Amino acid sequence: MHVEPTAIPGLLLVHLDLHEDARGWFKENWQRRKLADLGFPDLGPVQHNLAFNHRRGTLRGVHAEPWDKLISVVTGRVFGAYVDLRAGDGFGRVVTVEADPSLAVLVPRGVGNAYQTLEDGTSYSYLVNDHWRPDATYLAVDPADPALAIPWPVPPAESILSEKDRANPLLADVAPMPVRRPLVLGAAGQVGRALAAAFPDATLLTRHDLDLTDPGAVAALPWRDHDVVLNAAAYTAVDAAETPEGRRAAWALNATLPATLARLAAEHRSTLVHYSSDYVFDGTPGGPDGHTEDEPLSPLGVYGQSKAAGDLAVGTAPRHYVLRTSWVIGEGGNFVRTMQRLAAGGVSPAVVDDQVGRLTFADELARATRHLLDTGAPYGTYHVTNAGEPTSWYDVARAVFRLAGRAESDVSPTSTAAYGAGKQLAPRPLGSVLDLAKLRATGFELEDAMVALERYVAGQADRP
């Protein structure tokens, strides 16, 4: 068994092993594990259709449906023609093959499928990953359109063809099937803004566009229009999460929403990307290079507990990435901007020196997201921060003051306990270093946090 790409992106030829003897033959027409090892996408079929054709010269198509299908010949032979009807530069591109039971073809959503039988008694099989429904939008094109120039063995005028297919429009009259676009939830936040820049074709939703705490409203989104859902929505008020009202809000956004998204992503075969936090750990030393992805969750406070619940919920989606991160810096209010403002205002702050981790710049997190999706990295949990030696918040504050032209000595150290004395603060993990080996193993090269800090501060210097 081997997989062969074609000139149409996503259209794959699967060469199957036929085991023949005096009785006939046997083949594995769909073998999920073997195909996955060959880099084949996880089709996840939910319906199996068969078309039997009495006579040679029967022609069906060209039809493009809003789902993927794995087609194969059960008996006989066919001449297959595939037309890219998706929006983009490849619109109208044609690939043809001659197929017998030793060949299967993965036809992605929006690519038209047509075939002409070359033998009497030909059976054609379709495995599809969505259920047929009467409201589905189909595209069709005339198989005899000169613009396609399909070299049919039997001219379409002499073929056995349904009246409906004889009336299919010409390619010039077909509106391309829209490409499925990513969906970004929480697009107004630091991570959401970075994702909007990294995915310029994405649909962006903020809390003003949709009540994400309403499962019905989330379910009513046009899920079939989106192949990737990037969930950057979160309740991040760590201290307020310890209050009765904040506790409910934290669990609604950080746990219930991810569970709803996981269920819907599974139903609609979307890839779900969810952003999590170092707060799912208690801050005690993990592995030698920090907390690993498979370390047991051990959150200290309500915020961390709600994020941990979200991690577990997202893990139930067949296609998911949980990206745990720490100390996020992006567009909007954050620690670095606060230190810049204090430095400019002549303030000399005391900053905790016993919380240790790494900064994560939102654009680096978005870049890692893009890398995992574009490379088809194995689904699962990944830790994502900038690289470099771990630092404390005190170290970061001193670096910001230096970059702002203030003396590093204008920042004084304090402990978490001393800083929190007399305040109603949630517990913080002291050790927030995340092990980055799993992400690096995918081929992603991380930018050093201090290098990124200099770039960020320089870019923020003239902003209010």
- Name the residue among 40, 169, 64, 175 with its Cα closest to residue 114: 64
Q: 124 exposed, middle or buried (CB, 10 Å; 0-12, 13-18, 19+)? A: buried
DSSP notation for 409-458? GGSEEE-HHHHHTTS------SB--B--HHHHTTTPPPPBHHHHHHHHHH
Cα 362 from Cα 254, distance rounded (Å): 19
At which residue do the structure tokens 């993965």 appear? 106
63 has catalytic annotation = yes
- Residue tagged active-site, from 126, 268, 371, 379: 126
> Is 373 in contact with 433 (CB distance < 8 Å)?
no
- Name the residue among 299, 209, 208, 310 with its Cα closest to residue 250: 310
48 has catalytic annotation = no
C-alpha 194 chain-centroid distance: 15
Please tell me whether residue 22 adopts helix, strand or coil conformation.
coil
- Residue tagged active-site, from 54, 63, 124, 275: 63
What separation in angstroms does the CA of 448 have from each of 361, 388, 455?
A: 10, 5, 11
Q: 410 exposed, middle or buried (CB, 10 Å; 0-12, 13-18, 19+)? A: middle
Cα 114 from Cα 60, distance rounded (Å): 5
Which positions are catalytic?
63, 126
